[in-house]
Chains A and B, each alone.
Chain A
Amino acid sequence: MTATARPEELDGALSRLDGTGALARAGGTDLTACLAAGVLAPAPVVDLSGLDELRGVEWRPDGSARVGALTSVGELHTDPGLAGAYPALARTARELATPQVRTTATLGGNLLQRNRCWYLRNPAFDCFQTGGDSCPARGGDHLYGVVVDQGPCVAPHPSSLAVALLAHDATVLVADGRRTEMAVADLYDAADPTRDHVLEPGRVLVSVALPAPVPGERAAYRRATGRSRAEWPLVEAVARLAPADGGSGPVSSAAVAVGGVARTPLRLPEVEAALVGARPGSPLGTGVEEALEGLAGLCSPLPATGYKVDLLRATVRDVLERALDAPEA
C-alpha cells in the first residue's frame, strides 16, 4: 500500500513531491476517483490539507484578493466577502457539482483536475494522457467532446472555475523552489494532449489572485446541460460586464469566457469588444448579434459535436442577456 504524508510546511511538501512520483492531494475528490478508475497509478500521496500557506483569503489595500488554493469551492459562493466582490466566480461555484463535492473540493484542485473523458476514465483504453499514442475518443464516441479542435486530445477542459477566473484575468501563485506568478490562461496548453494543465509534478498551486472588484459589475454564469443540476456542462459561459455610472450606464468593458468547447477555457474577444456600449435592459444589439454569429468561425466541430456550435452561441447569448437583464431575442 502507498503511504500518505501530511506535511505542515510547504517546503516539506515540495521536497516530498519533487521527483518522487508522489501525488499531491488537496480535497481529494478527483484524485480518489482517478486512483479508483486507474487514471493514476497508485503512488505515495502528499496531503496538502495541513499547509496553512494554502489557506485563507487575503484582502489587499488596493481591494484585490489572494485566495488560498485550499479554499473550498463552496466557500467561493457562501463567503459573503468573496461572493460580494466576485459575483461571477461565486455564481460559477454555486452551480458546479453537488453540495457534498463543493464542501470537499478545493479551488486549486478544481483548476488542476483531470478531464472527464469517458475513455480517459475507463481502464480499458489507453490515450495520450495515460501513456498511449492516440485518442480513442476522436474516432470513437465523442458526443461531449470539443467543438474547437485544437488537436490531438478532444476532451474539453473540465474546470468551471478556470472559466470564471479567466474572465477575471486572475493569476495563480505557483511554488516549486521559488514562487512564480502566472496567468490562469497560462496554466493550460491546448496543444499538449498528455495532460490537463502545465504544472510539472512537484509544483504546488498556492493561491489565486483576483484583481480588485469592479463596482456595479454585472455578472452571470450559465451552463447548458441535459438535467437541471449536478451535470458537467455541454457548454458553459461566464460574463462580467462593467457598466459606466456604477451599474446603470452602458457597458464600458466586458469579459466573456466559455468552457466545455475546447481543451482550455476560452475568452471571446470579439464578443467582448461588441459589448462595449451595450445598455442594460435593452436587446443585445446588432454588433453583439454579429459577434455571436461569428462564433461559428471559431468552431471546428468533430463529427458528433456540431451541435455545440449552436449551443455555444445560445449559451453566450443567454449569459449576456442575463448579465444585461436584456429581453430575450
Chain B
Amino acid sequence: MNVRLNGSSSPTPDSPGTTAAEHIRDRLGLTGTKIACGTGVCGACTVLVDGAPTASCLLPAERLAGSSVTTVEGLGGDHPVQRAFAAHDALQCGYCTPGFVVEASAFADAWRAEHGDVRPDRERIADALSGHLCRCGAYEGIFAAVAAACAGEFDTEPDRDPPRADALDKVTGRARFSGDLAPEGTWEGVIVRSAHAHARVRSVHPGGARSETMPQPADGRPVFTDLLGEERLVRYVGQPIAAVAAPTAALARAAAEAVRVDYDPLPAVLDADEARSEDAPQVYTTRAQRRAAPSYGEAPTPPSSWRGNVHGPASTSWRGATAVRRLRRAGERDDPRLVAQEYSTAVQLHTPLEPHVCVASWERDGTLTLRVSTQTVAKVARKAAERWELPPEKVRVVSEYVGGGFGAKNGLSADVVAAAELSRLAHSPVRVSFDRAEELTDAGHRAATRTRVALLADRNGDLAAMSVDSHGDGGVAVGSTTATLAMLVYGRSPRRTRDFDVVTHRPPGQPMRAPGGAPLAWALEQAVDTMAGRLGEDPLSLRRRWDGNPKRRALYERVAALDLWRERPRGARTGRFRRGVGLASSNWLYLMGPKAQVELSVRDGGVVVRSATQDIGTGIRTVLGEVVADRLGVPASDLRVEIGDSSSVHGTGSFGSRTTTSMGPAAAEAADRLRAALREHEPRVPESGPVPEHALKDALAAAEGVRVVGERGRDRWGALSPDMDDLAVGRGMSGAVHVMEVEVDTLLGRVRPTRCWAGLAVGRVYSERLARNQCEGAVVQGVGYALFEERRHDPATGVVLTDNLEDYRIPGMGDVPETEVYFHQEGFEHAAGAGIGLGEVSVVGVAAAVANAVHDATGWRPHDLPIRPDRLIGGLR
C-alpha cells in the first residue's frame, strides 16, 4: 500500500521505529513539518492524515500506509487560512506556524461546512487549536486570522501585501530553518552529558568511535570529541562531556550509548537555601574557577567577593545610609507606612520551539560554514574564528530563519562547538540538534530569585526610602541584577540595592528577555500596590505621584481613561468566580549596537539589502526593507533583503532590545547614500522625496554593481556609556504600563487572565503590526511566568524533571487575555531613528500585573511564582 502524499503517490515507509514526522522530514525532504517537542504536545508536526489533523511525531511511520497525507507544503499557499495568517501577522519566528496552519485549515473548512461563513468565538478557536503551542505568543493574530478565514474574508487574494515580509515563506513551510538545511551526506551528532551533579571525570572512553583526525573519511565509523576542557569537573547533570557523530541519528545515538564516562562523584548542593549554609559543598573553590563562572547578566558582572557559594553583594545606593536608617527606625516603631515583603520567582526556561541546532561543515579550502540557529550571527562568526584560529573570511555563519531565542541562542553554544569539531573529524557536514529534554535542561534559563523589598512612605505619602536585596539562583552561573535595577525607578528617593548570587550544582542560567527586570517588577510592583492599600490610595494615583518619568506619566493618563480601569470592580468580591484588575509599571534600558551597518547594492537592476543581523521573529527583515523603501520612496517589494549571513557587513546581535534601534537608522543612512550614488548615474533621481518609477529603473540599470554601506550614527548628545563590544547604553529609558484583568476561580484555584492593556513608550514604532505582535507575545510569556512556568528538578540528583513540554508548561491559546497594545511614540527624538527597542520592556511588568489583579480579586497576595492552583487554594483557605 502506497501513501498518497500531497496528491502524489509515495512509497510506503519501511523503517520500523521511525515516526511519521521523521519519515516526512528526513526521507521525503518535506521540512515544513517541524519536530519541536517530540511528545505530541506542541503541534508543530501536525499533518492531515485522511483529512484529520494528526501529531506526526507520535504516529509510527508505517501507519501512513494506505492513507492520504497532506503536509503544509500540500496546502499550496492559497488556503484562506494561510492568507489570513499572513495578513493578520499570526506568527513571529514561524517555527510553529506550519502546524498551526495545517490544523487551522482543517478546522476552518469543517467549521464553514457546518456553520457557514461565521466567525467562531475565541473559546471555540482555542478548543480547536489546543494541541498547539507558540512560544513567541502570536496568539492574538492567530485568533484574528482563524476567525477571519472562517468568515470567508480570505477566499480571494488580499489586495495588500502582508505586514511581514517573510510571512508567505513561513505559512507555506518554504522558510528553511538551520536544521532543515542539512546537505546530502550530513552526519548526526549527539552530545554525551553528565549523569552527575558534581563529579571529577576520571576518564572518557570513546567506545568504538574515532577521536583522532584522519586525512580521509576512511569509513562510516563514528567520530568522537571531548567537550570538557582542561578542568575535568562536571558541575551539573546534563553538562556536556563529549560528543559523537555517525552517518545516521540511530547510529549516533548508539555511539553515544557506547561512550563510557568514569566519574568520581563529589558532594553536590542542589538547593539555593542549602547552598548558603556554611558546610554546604562548594561549587567553586578557587579564584580562577570563580572568575570563570558563567554569567546570565546582560552586562559584565561587577566584581564582588565570594563567601562560600554566595557571590556578592553587588551594592548600589543613593543616600544608602539614610535609606537604611529610615527603614530600620520605621521597623522599630512598626510604622504602617513601611512595607517590607519577600517574594520569590521560579526558574523560567526560554524553550524556543526551534531548539539549538547547528549544521557545521569544513570545506576543502579550510572554510568553516556554520548553519546555526542564533541571535548573534556576527558574534558566532567572530568567536568561531577565535576558537578555531581562522581568519575571519574563512568562517561563514548562516542563520536565515531563527525559530525564537529569547536570550538562549547567544554565542558558541555546545551544539556549535560539537558540530564543528565533529565535522572536522568526520570530513562530512555534521548536524547537532538539541532534543527537547536538552533544550529544557541545559540551554539557559531565567534564574530563580528571592527578593526582599522595603518601601517607606513619609507623612505626605511620598517615597522616603527603599531597599531591595535579591538572591539570584541561576545554578552554576552568576549575574543577578534584579536589585540593581531598582535604582532606575520611582524617582531619586534614598535607596540601597544589593544583588547576591547563590551558586548550586545545577545548569547555568542565561540572559532571558529583560534579565532581572521581571523578578524585580514581581516584587516591587506588588509592594507598591501594598503601599497604596496602606495609604488608602488608588494604585494608579500612587504611581502617578511617585513616578516622575514623563513617558510613563503619559501612559498613566491613558490608563485613567480606560474602561478596563475605570469600570473595574470595587470593594470585596464574593462568590466562586471573582474578577479583579491590576496594573504594573516597568522600564528598561535603551541599549543599542553602535557598529550596526547595512549594505545596499544594485544587483540585476534591483536593490539588495544586506547585513549580518538576524530575524528571530521580531521582524527586522521586514523593518530593513521598509526603512529603505520609505526613504527612497519605492515599494518594499522592489527590494530583496538578505540577512542572517556573516559574510555581510556587521549586523547587531538580537538581544538587549537593540536590533531595530540599531539596524533601522543604519538602513536609513544606507538608503540616503544609495540615493546620492544613484543621482550620480541618473540626475532625474530627486535629492529627496519619492524616486519616480522610471527614474529609479534607469538609475538602477546604470548603477549596476554600486554598493554603499550605511552606519547607525550617533544619537544627539551621544550615549551614556562607551561602546562595549557593539553595545552601548543610550539616553532615556523605555517605559511600559500593563493593566490586567483576571477572573479567579476560587474553587478550583485557577486564574484566567481575561483582558490586558499594554501601554508602551518606546518612541517611534518602525512597523506597527510587527511591534504590536511582539508586545502581545510578551503578555503571553509574562502570563506563563505568572501562572504556569517553573523548572523543577529532583532534589536528590539534580536531574531536571520538567524536561518536556508536558511538564514544563507554557501558555496555550486558551490561557491568554484579549490584549490591546498602545504605543506612546514621543520622547526619543534624540535617538537615531527616534525609536528604541521594545522586546524586553514589554514583558517586565506582566506577571506583576497578574499578581496585583489576583490580589484585587481575592484579597490574597501571591508571593511565590508561579501562581499554581495549589498555592491559590492554600492562600484562600
Contact = CB atoms under 8 A, between A and B. Distances in A.
A35 interface: yes
Contacts of A99: 53, 103, 127-128, 130-131
A216 interface: no
B126 A1 contact: no
Contacts of B793: 141
Contact of A104 (B17, B59, B812): B59
Contacts of B576: 328
Given A100-B40, A232-B806, A35 B747 contact: no
Given A100-B53, A318-B748, A33 B814 contact: no
B19 interface: yes
A226 B790 CA distance: 12
A224 B266 CA distance: 42
A32 B21 CA distance: 12
A47 B52 contact: no
A100 B55 contact: yes
Contacts of B75: none
Nearest to B43: A100
A166 B791 CA distance: 35
Contacts of A32: 19, 57-60
A228 B807 CA distance: 15
Given A25-B60, A103-B52, A143-B792, A1 B747 contact: no
A124 B814 CA distance: 33
Contacts of A6: 62
B618 to A, nearest CB: 26
Contacts of A232: 806
A328 B577 CA distance: 10
B15 A28 contact: no
Contact of A122 (B799, B811, B813, B873): B799
Given A100-B46, A141-B801, A228 B814 contact: yes
Contact of B58 (A33, A42, A116, A225): A33
A226 B869 contact: yes
B63 interface: yes
Contact of B750 (A3, A124, A226, A328): A226
A307 B869 contact: yes
Contact of B748 (A42, A45, A314): A314
A230 interface: yes
Contact of B54 (A25, A100, A234, A315): A100
A234 B866 CA distance: 16
B707 to A, nearest CB: 49
B806 A98 contact: no
Interface in B766-825: 787-788, 792-797, 799, 801-804, 806-807, 809, 811-815
Contacts of B53: 99-100, 103
B422 interface: no
A35 B17 CA distance: 9
B15 A229 contact: no
Given A100-B54, A116-B806, A125-B799, A234 B40 contact: no
B749 interface: yes
A49 B748 contact: no
A118 B52 CA distance: 30
A149 to B, nearest CB: 17
B18 to A, nearest CB: 9
Contacts of B39: 33, 36
A121 B877 CA distance: 34
B747 A28 contact: no
Contact of A118 (B19, B752, B801): B801
Interface in A272-329: 307-308, 310-311, 314-315, 317-318, 328
Interface residues of A, number: 54
Contacts of B874: 307, 310
A229 B814 contact: yes
Contacts of B870: 143, 234, 307-308, 311
A116 B40 CA distance: 14
B127 A234 contact: no
Contacts of B877: 310
Given A2-B16, A101-B40, A103-B54, A317 B747 contact: yes
Nearest to B131: A98
Interface in B47-69: 52-55, 57-60, 62-63
B613 to A, nearest CB: 35
B873 A29 contact: no
B300 interface: no
Interface string B834-877: 00000000000000000000000000000000101110011001
B130 A98 contact: yes
A231 interface: yes
A119 interface: yes
B747 A314 contact: yes
B815 A228 contact: yes
B55 to A, nearest CB: 4
Contacts of B41: 98, 230
B237 interface: yes
A116 B809 CA distance: 14
Given A4-B16, A47-B62, A311 B812 contact: no
A33 B796 contact: no
B195 interface: yes
A220 to B, nearest CB: 14
Contact of A311 (B40, B57, B58, B873): B873
B787 A226 contact: yes
Nearest to B796: A140
B794 A140 contact: yes
A274 B870 CA distance: 28
Nearest to B250: A1
B38 interface: yes
Contact of B801 (A119, A230, A318): A119
B536 interface: no
B575 interface: yes
Interface string A114-148: 00101101101100000000001001110100000
A215 to B, nearest CB: 28
A116 B43 CA distance: 19
16 contacts: A3-B16, A29-B59, A32-B59, A33-B39, A98-B40, A98-B130, A99-B131, A100-B46, A101-B131, A104-B55, A141-B793, A229-B130, A229-B812, A230-B41, A307-B749, A328-B576
In the complex, the 8 A-B pairs of residues with the closest C-beta atoms, listed nearest first: A98-B131, A307-B870, A228-B814, A229-B130, A118-B801, A100-B55, A29-B58, A100-B131
Given A1-B16, A3-B16, A33-B39, 4 more contacts: A1-B17, A36-B39, A121-B804, A310-B874
Interface of A: 1-4, 6, 25, 28-29, 32-33, 35-36, 42, 45, 47, 49, 97-101, 103-104, 116, 118-119, 121-122, 124-125, 136, 139-141, 143, 224-232, 234, 307-308, 310-311, 314-315, 317-318, 328
